[in-house]
Structure 1
Amino acid sequence: MPVLDAAGRSSAITGAANGIGAEVARALARRGARLALIDRDRAGLNRLAEELRASGAEVTVHPVDLRDDAAVAAAGAEIEAAHPQLQTLITCAGSSMLGSLDQLTMEEMRWLMDINLWGTVSITKALLPSLRRSPAAHITHIASIYALASPGGRIPYAMTKFAVRAFSEALMHELEGSSVSVGAVYPAGVRTGIILHGRYAAAIDPGVAGRAAAAQAAMYHMEPSEAAERIVRATLRRRPRTLIGRETRLVDALVRLAPVRYWGPMRRPLREAIDTTTPMSPRRSEAVTPPRRGSAPTPG
Protein backbone atom coordinates (compact mmCIF):
# COMPACT_ATOMS: atom_id res chain seq x y z
CA MET A 1 0.00 0.00 0.00
CA PRO A 2 1.65 3.28 -1.09
CA VAL A 3 2.49 5.92 1.52
CA LEU A 4 0.74 9.24 0.91
CA ASP A 5 2.44 12.58 0.33
CA ALA A 6 0.44 15.53 1.69
CA ALA A 7 2.15 18.20 -0.43
CA GLY A 8 -0.24 19.68 -2.94
CA ARG A 9 -2.99 17.19 -2.08
CA SER A 10 -6.29 17.87 -0.36
CA SER A 11 -7.26 16.89 3.17
CA ALA A 12 -10.57 17.42 5.00
CA ILE A 13 -10.64 17.75 8.78
CA THR A 14 -13.71 17.86 11.03
CA GLY A 15 -13.61 19.58 14.39
CA ALA A 16 -11.00 21.86 12.86
CA ALA A 17 -11.83 25.05 14.76
CA ASN A 18 -9.99 23.99 17.92
CA GLY A 19 -8.29 21.20 19.83
CA ILE A 20 -6.82 18.21 18.01
CA GLY A 21 -8.58 19.13 14.76
CA ALA A 22 -6.90 22.53 14.59
CA GLU A 23 -3.50 20.99 15.34
CA VAL A 24 -4.04 18.34 12.65
CA ALA A 25 -4.75 21.15 10.19
CA ARG A 26 -1.54 22.95 11.20
CA ALA A 27 0.49 19.74 10.89
CA LEU A 28 -0.87 19.09 7.38
CA ALA A 29 -0.34 22.72 6.37
CA ARG A 30 3.33 22.42 7.34
CA ARG A 31 3.50 19.49 4.91
CA GLY A 32 2.04 21.58 2.08
CA ALA A 33 -1.47 20.13 2.04
CA ARG A 34 -4.55 21.89 0.69
CA LEU A 35 -7.15 21.95 3.44
CA ALA A 36 -10.93 21.77 3.80
CA LEU A 37 -11.74 22.80 7.36
CA ILE A 38 -15.06 21.63 8.81
CA ASP A 39 -16.66 22.69 12.10
CA ARG A 40 -19.81 24.23 13.55
CA ASP A 41 -17.75 27.14 14.93
CA ARG A 42 -17.62 29.57 11.99
CA ALA A 43 -15.55 32.17 13.85
CA GLY A 44 -13.02 29.57 14.96
CA LEU A 45 -12.70 28.23 11.41
CA ASN A 46 -12.12 31.71 10.03
CA ARG A 47 -9.43 32.46 12.60
CA LEU A 48 -7.58 29.25 11.81
CA ALA A 49 -7.98 29.75 8.06
CA GLU A 50 -6.51 33.25 8.33
CA GLU A 51 -3.55 31.88 10.29
CA LEU A 52 -2.89 29.08 7.81
CA ARG A 53 -3.30 31.28 4.74
CA ALA A 54 -0.74 33.67 6.21
CA SER A 55 1.71 30.76 6.20
CA GLY A 56 0.96 30.06 2.53
CA ALA A 57 -1.58 27.24 2.84
CA GLU A 58 -4.57 26.88 0.53
CA VAL A 59 -7.66 26.62 2.71
CA THR A 60 -11.43 26.39 2.30
CA VAL A 61 -13.80 26.68 5.26
CA HIS A 62 -17.07 24.80 5.64
CA PRO A 63 -19.15 25.73 8.70
CA VAL A 64 -21.62 22.90 9.33
CA ASP A 65 -23.38 21.17 12.21
CA LEU A 66 -22.55 17.50 11.68
CA ARG A 67 -25.89 16.52 13.23
CA ASP A 68 -27.69 18.00 10.20
CA ASP A 69 -27.52 15.40 7.42
CA ALA A 70 -28.76 17.79 4.72
CA ALA A 71 -26.21 20.42 5.71
CA VAL A 72 -23.45 17.79 5.73
CA ALA A 73 -24.43 16.63 2.23
CA ALA A 74 -24.35 20.25 1.01
CA ALA A 75 -20.94 20.81 2.62
CA GLY A 76 -19.72 17.59 1.00
CA ALA A 77 -20.72 18.94 -2.42
CA GLU A 78 -18.89 22.20 -1.71
CA ILE A 79 -15.75 20.35 -0.65
CA GLU A 80 -15.96 18.05 -3.66
CA ALA A 81 -16.14 21.07 -5.97
CA ALA A 82 -13.16 22.74 -4.31
CA HIS A 83 -11.16 19.53 -3.84
CA PRO A 84 -12.08 17.11 -6.67
CA GLN A 85 -9.58 14.46 -5.61
CA LEU A 86 -9.63 14.44 -1.85
CA GLN A 87 -6.71 12.41 -0.49
CA THR A 88 -7.49 12.22 3.23
CA LEU A 89 -10.39 12.70 5.63
CA ILE A 90 -9.64 12.98 9.35
CA THR A 91 -12.67 13.13 11.66
CA CYS A 92 -11.75 14.92 14.88
CA ALA A 93 -15.14 16.43 15.82
CA GLY A 94 -16.64 15.19 19.05
CA SER A 95 -17.91 16.04 22.50
CA SER A 96 -18.35 14.35 25.89
CA MET A 97 -21.08 13.62 28.42
CA LEU A 98 -20.79 13.07 32.18
CA GLY A 99 -23.29 11.06 34.19
CA SER A 100 -24.49 7.63 35.20
CA LEU A 101 -27.35 5.86 33.44
CA ASP A 102 -29.67 6.83 36.31
CA GLN A 103 -28.77 10.50 35.87
CA LEU A 104 -28.85 10.69 32.08
CA THR A 105 -31.92 11.18 29.91
CA MET A 106 -32.40 9.48 26.56
CA GLU A 107 -32.23 12.88 24.85
CA GLU A 108 -28.84 13.59 26.42
CA MET A 109 -27.43 10.27 25.26
CA ARG A 110 -28.89 10.64 21.75
CA TRP A 111 -27.34 14.12 21.51
CA LEU A 112 -23.87 12.69 22.00
CA MET A 113 -24.49 9.80 19.62
CA ASP A 114 -25.61 12.26 16.94
CA ILE A 115 -22.33 14.16 17.21
CA ASN A 116 -19.73 11.48 17.84
CA LEU A 117 -21.13 8.66 15.71
CA TRP A 118 -23.67 9.90 13.19
CA GLY A 119 -21.68 13.06 12.44
CA THR A 120 -18.68 10.84 11.66
CA VAL A 121 -20.76 8.52 9.48
CA SER A 122 -22.48 11.40 7.67
CA ILE A 123 -19.34 13.30 6.65
CA THR A 124 -17.59 10.07 5.64
CA LYS A 125 -20.50 9.10 3.41
CA ALA A 126 -20.65 12.59 1.90
CA LEU A 127 -16.94 12.70 1.02
CA LEU A 128 -16.36 9.08 0.00
CA PRO A 129 -17.10 9.73 -3.73
CA SER A 130 -14.38 12.39 -3.84
CA LEU A 131 -11.96 10.13 -1.96
CA ARG A 132 -12.62 7.33 -4.44
CA ARG A 133 -11.46 9.55 -7.31
CA SER A 134 -8.00 9.91 -5.76
CA PRO A 135 -5.39 7.36 -6.93
CA ALA A 136 -4.82 6.57 -3.23
CA ALA A 137 -6.75 7.90 -0.25
CA HIS A 138 -7.16 7.29 3.47
CA ILE A 139 -9.86 7.94 6.06
CA THR A 140 -8.85 8.36 9.71
CA HIS A 141 -11.50 8.28 12.41
CA ILE A 142 -10.54 9.46 15.89
CA ALA A 143 -11.85 6.91 18.40
CA SER A 144 -10.62 6.87 22.00
CA ILE A 145 -9.00 4.78 24.70
CA TYR A 146 -12.65 4.28 25.73
CA ALA A 147 -13.25 2.46 22.45
CA LEU A 148 -11.02 -0.27 23.86
CA ALA A 149 -12.45 -0.44 27.39
CA SER A 150 -15.70 0.99 28.79
CA PRO A 151 -15.50 2.74 32.18
CA GLY A 152 -18.47 3.18 34.45
CA GLY A 153 -19.77 6.74 34.47
CA ARG A 154 -18.99 7.22 30.78
CA ILE A 155 -21.69 5.11 29.15
CA PRO A 156 -22.69 7.56 26.35
CA TYR A 157 -19.12 8.43 25.43
CA ALA A 158 -17.92 4.82 25.43
CA MET A 159 -20.95 3.77 23.36
CA THR A 160 -20.23 6.39 20.72
CA LYS A 161 -16.53 5.57 20.51
CA PHE A 162 -17.04 1.81 20.37
CA ALA A 163 -19.50 2.52 17.56
CA VAL A 164 -16.94 4.67 15.73
CA ARG A 165 -14.49 1.79 16.06
CA ALA A 166 -17.04 -0.65 14.62
CA PHE A 167 -17.87 1.72 11.77
CA SER A 168 -14.18 2.17 10.94
CA GLU A 169 -13.43 -1.55 10.93
CA ALA A 170 -16.54 -2.46 8.90
CA LEU A 171 -15.83 0.30 6.37
CA MET A 172 -12.21 -0.84 6.11
CA HIS A 173 -13.45 -4.31 5.18
CA GLU A 174 -16.05 -2.90 2.80
CA LEU A 175 -13.43 -0.84 0.94
CA GLU A 176 -10.84 -3.62 0.86
CA GLY A 177 -9.22 -3.78 -2.56
CA SER A 178 -10.22 -0.21 -3.46
CA SER A 179 -8.02 2.89 -3.57
CA VAL A 180 -9.43 4.06 -0.21
CA SER A 181 -8.07 2.68 3.06
CA VAL A 182 -9.50 3.28 6.54
CA GLY A 183 -7.98 3.49 10.00
CA ALA A 184 -8.93 4.38 13.54
CA VAL A 185 -6.80 6.22 16.11
CA TYR A 186 -7.14 5.51 19.83
CA PRO A 187 -5.73 8.40 21.89
CA ALA A 188 -5.43 8.47 25.66
CA GLY A 189 -5.79 11.78 27.50
CA VAL A 190 -5.00 14.78 25.29
CA ARG A 191 -5.02 18.28 26.78
CA THR A 192 -7.98 19.70 24.88
CA GLY A 193 -11.12 21.27 26.29
CA ILE A 194 -13.37 18.32 25.45
CA ILE A 195 -14.15 17.30 29.02
CA LEU A 196 -14.29 20.82 30.47
CA HIS A 197 -16.40 22.18 27.60
CA GLY A 198 -18.52 19.08 27.09
CA ARG A 199 -21.90 18.45 28.59
CA TYR A 200 -23.14 16.78 31.76
CA ALA A 201 -26.48 15.32 32.75
CA ALA A 202 -28.96 17.94 33.95
CA ALA A 203 -29.58 15.77 37.02
CA ILE A 204 -26.01 16.28 38.31
CA ASP A 205 -25.12 19.06 40.73
CA PRO A 206 -22.92 21.58 38.85
CA GLY A 207 -20.19 21.48 41.47
CA VAL A 208 -20.04 17.69 41.39
CA ALA A 209 -19.87 17.76 37.59
CA GLY A 210 -17.04 20.28 37.73
CA ARG A 211 -15.11 18.17 40.22
CA ALA A 212 -15.46 15.05 38.04
CA ALA A 213 -14.48 16.92 34.88
CA ALA A 214 -11.44 18.45 36.59
CA ALA A 215 -10.36 15.02 37.85
CA GLN A 216 -10.61 13.62 34.33
CA ALA A 217 -8.76 16.59 32.83
CA ALA A 218 -5.94 16.15 35.36
CA MET A 219 -5.28 12.73 33.81
CA TYR A 220 -4.62 14.23 30.37
CA HIS A 221 -0.88 14.55 29.70
CA MET A 222 -0.33 14.74 25.94
CA GLU A 223 -0.31 18.08 24.12
CA PRO A 224 -2.72 18.36 21.16
CA SER A 225 0.16 19.19 18.81
CA GLU A 226 1.94 15.93 19.67
CA ALA A 227 -1.24 13.89 19.22
CA ALA A 228 -1.88 15.63 15.90
CA GLU A 229 1.58 14.78 14.57
CA ARG A 230 1.00 11.11 15.37
CA ILE A 231 -2.44 11.21 13.76
CA VAL A 232 -1.08 12.78 10.58
CA ARG A 233 1.78 10.28 10.38
CA ALA A 234 -0.65 7.39 10.83
CA THR A 235 -2.90 8.84 8.15
CA LEU A 236 -0.15 9.33 5.57
CA ARG A 237 1.18 5.83 6.30
CA ARG A 238 -2.41 4.52 5.99
CA ARG A 239 -2.32 2.63 9.25
CA PRO A 240 -5.48 0.67 10.13
CA ARG A 241 -4.99 0.94 13.90
CA THR A 242 -2.97 3.46 15.90
CA LEU A 243 -2.64 3.59 19.70
CA ILE A 244 -1.52 6.96 21.06
CA GLY A 245 -0.23 7.25 24.62
CA ARG A 246 1.17 4.87 27.22
CA GLU A 247 -2.23 4.53 28.90
CA THR A 248 -3.83 3.33 25.69
CA ARG A 249 -1.22 0.63 25.20
CA LEU A 250 -1.65 -0.51 28.80
CA VAL A 251 -5.44 -0.64 28.52
CA ASP A 252 -5.21 -2.49 25.20
CA ALA A 253 -3.00 -5.12 26.83
CA LEU A 254 -5.22 -5.28 29.93
CA VAL A 255 -8.37 -5.91 27.90
CA ARG A 256 -6.64 -8.69 25.96
CA LEU A 257 -5.46 -10.34 29.18
CA ALA A 258 -8.69 -9.84 31.16
CA PRO A 259 -11.56 -9.16 28.76
CA VAL A 260 -14.18 -9.58 31.50
CA ARG A 261 -12.31 -8.34 34.58
CA TYR A 262 -10.36 -5.34 33.26
CA TRP A 263 -12.56 -2.87 35.16
CA GLY A 264 -11.01 -3.84 38.49
CA PRO A 265 -7.56 -2.34 37.73
CA MET A 266 -9.11 0.59 35.82
CA ARG A 267 -11.56 1.65 38.53
CA ARG A 268 -9.12 3.04 41.10
CA PRO A 269 -7.36 5.71 38.99
CA LEU A 270 -10.74 6.80 37.58
CA ARG A 271 -12.65 6.89 40.86
CA GLU A 272 -12.87 10.70 41.14
CA ALA A 273 -13.48 11.23 37.44
CA ILE A 274 -16.51 8.93 37.44
CA ASP A 275 -18.00 10.09 40.75
CA THR A 276 -21.02 12.23 39.83
CA THR A 277 -23.01 11.59 43.01
CA THR A 278 -20.89 12.46 46.10
CA PRO A 279 -21.92 15.97 47.29
CA MET A 280 -19.34 18.75 47.32
CA SER A 281 -18.15 20.42 50.51
CA PRO A 282 -19.15 24.14 50.53
CA ARG A 283 -15.52 25.32 50.52
CA ARG A 284 -14.48 23.12 47.61
CA SER A 285 -17.56 23.88 45.52
CA GLU A 286 -16.60 27.56 45.34
CA ALA A 287 -13.35 26.65 43.58
CA VAL A 288 -14.84 24.37 40.92
CA THR A 289 -16.02 25.53 37.50
CA PRO A 290 -18.49 23.06 36.02
CA PRO A 291 -18.66 22.09 32.35
CA ARG A 292 -21.71 23.14 30.34
CA ARG A 293 -25.14 22.00 31.35
CA GLY A 294 -28.17 21.50 29.14
CA SER A 295 -27.27 23.56 26.07
CA ALA A 296 -25.06 21.88 23.52
CA PRO A 297 -21.49 23.14 23.08
CA THR A 298 -19.80 23.36 19.73
CA PRO A 299 -18.83 19.82 18.65
CA GLY A 300 -15.10 19.31 18.24
Structure 2
Amino acid sequence: MKLDGRVAVITGAGSGIGRGIALACSRRGCGVAIADVSEDGLRETAGMIRGVKVTTHKLDVTDRAATAALPQSVLAEHGRVDLLVNNAGVAIGGTFEQVDEADFDWLMEVNFHAVVRLTRAFLPLLRTRDQARIVNVSSLFGLIAPPGQTAYSAAKFAVRGFSESLRRELEEAASAVGVTVVHPGGINTNIARNARPPRHVSNEEAAQMAEERDRFQKFLRMSPIKAGEIIVSAVEGEKPRVLVGNDAKIGSLIERLAPIGYWNILKRSMS
Protein backbone atom coordinates (compact mmCIF):
# COMPACT_ATOMS: atom_id res chain seq x y z
CA MET A 1 0.00 0.00 0.00
CA LYS A 2 1.56 3.27 -1.14
CA LEU A 3 0.88 5.99 1.42
CA ASP A 4 2.07 9.00 -0.56
CA GLY A 5 -0.89 11.32 -1.15
CA ARG A 6 -3.22 9.34 1.11
CA VAL A 7 -4.86 10.41 4.41
CA ALA A 8 -4.63 8.62 7.75
CA VAL A 9 -6.82 9.10 10.83
CA ILE A 10 -4.96 8.21 14.02
CA THR A 11 -6.45 8.16 17.53
CA GLY A 12 -4.34 8.54 20.64
CA ALA A 13 -1.87 10.55 18.55
CA GLY A 14 -1.03 13.11 21.24
CA SER A 15 1.83 10.93 22.49
CA GLY A 16 3.36 7.48 22.40
CA ILE A 17 2.72 4.99 19.63
CA GLY A 18 0.03 7.17 18.03
CA ARG A 19 2.54 9.99 17.64
CA GLY A 20 5.09 7.56 16.22
CA ILE A 21 2.55 6.33 13.65
CA ALA A 22 1.60 9.90 12.68
CA LEU A 23 5.25 10.82 12.13
CA ALA A 24 5.93 7.65 10.13
CA CYS A 25 2.90 8.33 7.90
CA SER A 26 3.92 11.94 7.32
CA ARG A 27 7.43 10.89 6.31
CA ARG A 28 5.81 8.89 3.51
CA GLY A 29 3.81 11.85 2.23
CA CYS A 30 0.57 10.79 3.91
CA GLY A 31 -1.67 13.53 5.31
CA VAL A 32 -2.80 12.95 8.88
CA ALA A 33 -5.87 13.75 10.95
CA ILE A 34 -4.72 13.21 14.53
CA ALA A 35 -7.15 12.76 17.41
CA ASP A 36 -6.58 12.69 21.14
CA VAL A 37 -8.21 13.79 24.38
CA SER A 38 -5.15 15.99 25.09
CA GLU A 39 -5.06 19.25 23.14
CA ASP A 40 -1.52 19.94 24.36
CA GLY A 41 -0.38 16.54 23.08
CA LEU A 42 -2.05 17.15 19.72
CA ARG A 43 -0.32 20.52 19.33
CA GLU A 44 3.02 18.95 20.15
CA THR A 45 2.57 16.12 17.66
CA ALA A 46 1.33 18.50 14.95
CA GLY A 47 4.39 20.70 15.50
CA MET A 48 6.66 17.76 14.71
CA ILE A 49 5.06 17.02 11.32
CA ARG A 50 6.43 18.56 8.15
CA GLY A 51 5.54 18.47 4.47
CA VAL A 52 1.95 17.19 4.64
CA LYS A 53 -1.41 18.48 5.77
CA VAL A 54 -2.14 17.78 9.43
CA THR A 55 -5.36 18.53 11.28
CA THR A 56 -5.99 18.09 15.00
CA HIS A 57 -9.22 16.79 16.50
CA LYS A 58 -9.82 16.81 20.25
CA LEU A 59 -11.64 13.55 20.89
CA ASP A 60 -12.80 11.55 23.87
CA VAL A 61 -13.30 8.17 22.24
CA THR A 62 -15.97 7.27 24.82
CA ASP A 63 -18.14 10.13 23.49
CA ARG A 64 -20.44 8.41 21.02
CA ALA A 65 -21.65 11.59 19.35
CA ALA A 66 -18.09 12.89 18.89
CA THR A 67 -16.85 9.64 17.36
CA ALA A 68 -19.85 9.50 15.01
CA ALA A 69 -19.13 13.08 13.87
CA LEU A 70 -15.39 12.59 13.31
CA PRO A 71 -15.55 11.09 9.78
CA GLN A 72 -17.37 14.11 8.34
CA SER A 73 -15.02 16.48 10.16
CA VAL A 74 -11.99 14.74 8.63
CA LEU A 75 -13.65 14.55 5.21
CA ALA A 76 -14.35 18.30 5.27
CA GLU A 77 -10.65 18.99 5.96
CA HIS A 78 -8.94 16.34 3.84
CA GLY A 79 -11.49 15.21 1.27
CA ARG A 80 -10.73 11.51 1.76
CA VAL A 81 -9.77 8.83 4.30
CA ASP A 82 -7.56 5.88 3.33
CA LEU A 83 -6.27 4.63 6.66
CA LEU A 84 -7.86 4.39 10.12
CA VAL A 85 -5.58 3.65 13.07
CA ASN A 86 -7.43 2.80 16.29
CA ASN A 87 -4.65 3.34 18.79
CA ALA A 88 -6.12 5.22 21.79
CA GLY A 89 -5.84 3.20 25.00
CA VAL A 90 -5.74 3.32 28.79
CA ALA A 91 -4.70 0.97 31.59
CA ILE A 92 -5.86 0.09 35.09
CA GLY A 93 -3.75 -1.64 37.72
CA GLY A 94 -5.03 -4.25 40.13
CA THR A 95 -6.58 -7.69 40.23
CA PHE A 96 -10.12 -8.44 39.09
CA GLU A 97 -11.42 -8.19 42.66
CA GLN A 98 -9.67 -4.86 43.20
CA VAL A 99 -10.95 -3.21 40.01
CA ASP A 100 -14.58 -2.16 40.44
CA GLU A 101 -17.24 -2.50 37.77
CA ALA A 102 -17.20 1.19 36.78
CA ASP A 103 -13.44 1.22 36.11
CA PHE A 104 -13.59 -2.11 34.28
CA ASP A 105 -16.37 -0.77 32.04
CA TRP A 106 -14.47 2.50 31.45
CA LEU A 107 -11.41 0.63 30.23
CA MET A 108 -13.52 -1.55 27.93
CA GLU A 109 -15.18 1.58 26.52
CA VAL A 110 -11.83 3.17 25.61
CA ASN A 111 -9.85 0.10 24.57
CA PHE A 112 -12.50 -1.95 22.80
CA HIS A 113 -15.91 -0.37 22.26
CA ALA A 114 -14.36 2.81 20.82
CA VAL A 115 -12.44 0.66 18.32
CA VAL A 116 -15.70 -0.90 17.16
CA ARG A 117 -17.57 2.43 16.98
CA LEU A 118 -14.80 4.22 15.05
CA THR A 119 -14.50 1.30 12.64
CA ARG A 120 -18.24 1.40 12.06
CA ALA A 121 -18.12 5.18 11.55
CA PHE A 122 -15.22 5.18 9.06
CA LEU A 123 -15.82 1.95 7.13
CA PRO A 124 -18.26 3.53 4.63
CA LEU A 125 -15.62 6.15 3.71
CA LEU A 126 -12.87 3.55 3.50
CA ARG A 127 -15.00 1.43 1.17
CA THR A 128 -15.03 4.26 -1.39
CA ARG A 129 -11.24 4.12 -1.82
CA ASP A 130 -9.34 1.98 -4.31
CA GLN A 131 -7.25 0.68 -1.41
CA ALA A 132 -7.73 1.28 2.31
CA ARG A 133 -6.82 -0.20 5.65
CA ILE A 134 -7.95 -0.40 9.27
CA VAL A 135 -5.19 -0.78 11.87
CA ASN A 136 -6.29 -1.85 15.35
CA VAL A 137 -3.70 -1.69 18.11
CA SER A 138 -4.04 -4.63 20.49
CA SER A 139 -1.11 -5.55 22.75
CA LEU A 140 1.24 -8.32 23.83
CA PHE A 141 -1.49 -8.73 26.45
CA GLY A 142 -3.85 -9.58 23.61
CA LEU A 143 -1.71 -12.69 23.09
CA ILE A 144 -0.88 -13.55 26.70
CA ALA A 145 -2.87 -12.76 29.84
CA PRO A 146 -0.80 -12.11 32.97
CA PRO A 147 -2.27 -11.73 36.45
CA GLY A 148 -3.32 -8.22 37.39
CA GLN A 149 -4.44 -7.43 33.83
CA THR A 150 -7.97 -8.86 33.64
CA ALA A 151 -9.57 -5.69 32.25
CA TYR A 152 -6.70 -4.77 29.94
CA SER A 153 -6.26 -8.29 28.58
CA ALA A 154 -10.02 -8.71 28.13
CA ALA A 155 -10.11 -5.57 25.97
CA LYS A 156 -6.98 -6.37 23.97
CA PHE A 157 -8.04 -9.98 23.29
CA ALA A 158 -11.39 -8.53 22.15
CA VAL A 159 -9.61 -6.16 19.75
CA ARG A 160 -7.71 -9.11 18.33
CA GLY A 161 -10.83 -11.24 17.84
CA PHE A 162 -12.82 -8.37 16.35
CA SER A 163 -10.00 -7.52 13.93
CA GLU A 164 -9.48 -11.08 12.75
CA SER A 165 -13.17 -11.74 12.16
CA LEU A 166 -13.66 -8.38 10.40
CA ARG A 167 -10.65 -9.08 8.16
CA ARG A 168 -12.15 -12.37 7.03
CA GLU A 169 -15.55 -10.79 6.38
CA LEU A 170 -13.96 -8.11 4.20
CA GLU A 171 -11.81 -10.67 2.38
CA GLU A 172 -14.85 -12.83 1.61
CA ALA A 173 -16.64 -9.74 0.30
CA ALA A 174 -13.63 -8.99 -1.97
CA SER A 175 -13.36 -5.58 -0.32
CA ALA A 176 -10.45 -3.22 -0.96
CA VAL A 177 -10.31 -2.56 2.80
CA GLY A 178 -7.70 -4.60 4.68
CA VAL A 179 -7.25 -5.07 8.41
CA THR A 180 -4.03 -5.14 10.41
CA VAL A 181 -3.95 -6.00 14.11
CA VAL A 182 -0.92 -4.80 16.06
CA HIS A 183 0.58 -6.43 19.16
CA PRO A 184 3.19 -4.10 20.69
CA GLY A 185 5.42 -5.42 23.44
CA GLY A 186 7.37 -3.19 25.80
CA ILE A 187 7.10 0.27 24.24
CA ASN A 188 8.30 3.22 26.34
CA THR A 189 5.03 5.16 26.48
CA ASN A 190 3.04 6.78 29.29
CA ILE A 191 0.33 4.13 29.43
CA ALA A 192 1.87 2.20 32.35
CA ARG A 193 2.94 5.35 34.20
CA ASN A 194 -0.56 6.79 33.84
CA ALA A 195 -2.42 3.59 34.69
CA ARG A 196 -5.45 4.36 36.84
CA PRO A 197 -5.18 2.72 40.29
CA PRO A 198 -8.25 0.97 41.73
CA ARG A 199 -10.30 3.35 43.83
CA HIS A 200 -10.95 1.08 46.79
CA VAL A 201 -7.58 -0.32 47.83
CA SER A 202 -5.60 0.18 51.01
CA ASN A 203 -2.52 2.39 51.20
CA GLU A 204 -0.41 -0.75 51.46
CA GLU A 205 -1.95 -2.23 48.31
CA ALA A 206 -1.51 1.08 46.47
CA ALA A 207 2.18 1.20 47.42
CA GLN A 208 2.64 -2.39 46.25
CA MET A 209 1.02 -1.54 42.89
CA ALA A 210 3.27 1.48 42.46
CA GLU A 211 6.32 -0.71 43.09
CA GLU A 212 5.07 -3.27 40.58
CA ARG A 213 4.44 -0.50 38.04
CA ASP A 214 7.99 0.82 38.46
CA ARG A 215 9.39 -2.68 38.01
CA PHE A 216 7.28 -3.23 34.90
CA GLN A 217 8.45 0.10 33.46
CA LYS A 218 11.97 -1.31 33.13
CA PHE A 219 10.70 -3.70 30.44
CA LEU A 220 9.39 -0.83 28.29
CA ARG A 221 12.48 -0.25 26.18
CA MET A 222 11.54 0.38 22.55
CA SER A 223 10.92 4.01 21.56
CA PRO A 224 7.40 4.79 20.28
CA ILE A 225 8.98 6.42 17.20
CA LYS A 226 10.59 3.10 16.26
CA ALA A 227 7.34 1.26 17.03
CA GLY A 228 5.44 3.64 14.74
CA GLU A 229 7.89 2.98 11.93
CA ILE A 230 7.50 -0.80 12.32
CA ILE A 231 3.70 -0.52 12.28
CA VAL A 232 3.53 1.75 9.22
CA SER A 233 6.00 -0.49 7.36
CA ALA A 234 3.63 -3.38 8.09
CA VAL A 235 0.74 -1.34 6.68
CA GLU A 236 2.74 -0.73 3.49
CA GLY A 237 3.32 -4.48 3.28
CA GLU A 238 -0.41 -5.16 3.89
CA LYS A 239 0.44 -7.48 6.77
CA PRO A 240 -2.57 -8.84 8.67
CA ARG A 241 -0.68 -8.99 11.97
CA VAL A 242 2.46 -7.33 13.31
CA LEU A 243 4.36 -8.15 16.49
CA VAL A 244 6.29 -5.09 17.66
CA GLY A 245 9.46 -5.96 19.59
CA ASN A 246 11.30 -9.14 20.45
CA ASP A 247 9.33 -9.48 23.68
CA ALA A 248 6.08 -9.66 21.70
CA LYS A 249 7.59 -12.23 19.33
CA ILE A 250 8.95 -14.36 22.18
CA GLY A 251 5.70 -14.08 24.15
CA SER A 252 3.70 -15.16 21.12
CA LEU A 253 5.98 -18.13 20.48
CA ILE A 254 5.95 -19.36 24.09
CA GLU A 255 2.15 -19.03 24.25
CA ARG A 256 1.83 -21.23 21.16
CA LEU A 257 4.22 -23.82 22.59
CA ALA A 258 2.72 -23.81 26.10
CA PRO A 259 -0.80 -22.36 25.87
CA ILE A 260 -1.56 -23.15 29.53
CA GLY A 261 1.82 -22.92 31.24
CA TYR A 262 3.34 -19.98 29.35
CA TRP A 263 3.04 -17.55 32.26
CA ASN A 264 5.21 -19.66 34.57
CA ILE A 265 7.87 -19.78 31.85
CA LEU A 266 7.70 -16.04 31.22
CA LYS A 267 7.68 -15.20 34.93
CA ARG A 268 10.90 -17.15 35.48
CA SER A 269 12.46 -15.42 32.49
CA MET A 270 11.54 -11.95 33.75
CA SER A 271 12.85 -12.61 37.25
Aligned to 1:249: 249
Q: Secondary structure at the match of 1:242?
A: strand
Say whether 1:64 aligns with 2:28: no
Report the residue type matching 1:113 in the other structure. M
1:85 positional shift? 3.0
Say whether 1:43 aligns with 2:70: no
C-alpha distance after superposition, 1:135-189 (max 9, x if no partner)? 0011111111111111011111100000000110111011111010001011110
1:219 positional shift? 0.9
Query: RMSD value over aligned CA atoms?
Result: 1.4
- Given candidates 101, 104, 112, the residue that maps to 1:109 is 104
CA contact (8 A) 1:138 1:236 kept: no
Which runs of no fewer than 5 residues in structure 2 stay unpaired? none
Aligned to 1:90: 85
Say whether 1:140 aligns with 2:135: yes
CA contact (8 A) 2:11 2:36 kept: yes
CA contact (8 A) 1:188 1:247 kept: yes
Greater helix proportion: 2
Aligned to 1:202: 199
CA distance in 2, matches of 1:132, 1:82: 19
CA distance in 1, matches of 2:51, 2:178: 29
Report the residue type matching 2:182 in the other structure. V
CA distance in 1, matches of 2:72, 2:162: 22
CA distance in 2, matches of 1:76, 1:246: 35
C-alpha distance after superposition, 1:179-220 (max 9, x if no partner)? 100010111100001000121212333322221111111111
When residues 15 and 145 of structure 1 are mapped into structure 2, their CA distance, relative to the original with a 3 A threshold, is same
Aligned to 1:293: none
Q: Secondary structure at the match of 1:196?
A: coil
Report the residue type matching 2:207 in the other structure. G
CA distance in 2, matches of 1:36, 1:16: 9
Aligned to 2:225: 225
Pairs within 5 Å for 1:173-212:
173-176=168-171, 177-204=174-201, 205=203, 206-212=206-212
CA distance in 2, matches of 1:20, 1:82: 24
Aligned to 2:261: 261
CA contact (8 A) 1:191 1:223 kept: yes
Q: Secondary structure at the match of 1:37?
A: strand
Report the residue type matching 1:47 in the other structure. E
Q: Secondary structure at the match of 1:175?
A: helix
Number of aligned residue pairs: 266
1:79 positional shift? 1.4
CA contact (8 A) 2:23 2:48 kept: no
1:110 positional shift? 0.6
Pairs within 5 Å for 1:116-127:
116-127=111-122
CA distance in 1, matches of 2:142, 2:47: 35
Aligned to 1:8: 5
CA distance in 2, matches of 1:178, 1:83: 23
CA distance in 1, matches of 2:130, 2:224: 30
CA contact (8 A) 1:139 1:180 kept: yes
1:253 positional shift? 1.3
Pairs within 5 Å for 1:147-186:
147-176=142-171, 177-186=174-183
When residues 227 and 51 of structure 1 are mapped into structure 2, their CA distance, relative to the original with a 3 A threshold, is closer
Q: Secondary structure at the match of 2:48?
A: helix
CA distance in 1, matches of 2:267, 2:122: 39
CA contact (8 A) 2:4 2:28 kept: yes
Say whether 1:18 aligns with 2:19: no
Instruction: Give TM-score scaled by structure 1 length.
Output: 0.85
Q: Secondary structure at the match of 2:34?
A: strand
1:266 positional shift? 2.3
1:43 positional shift? 2.4
Which one is further off, 234-243 or 78-87?
78-87
CA contact (8 A) 1:216 1:270 kept: no
CA distance in 1, matches of 2:160, 2:96: 22
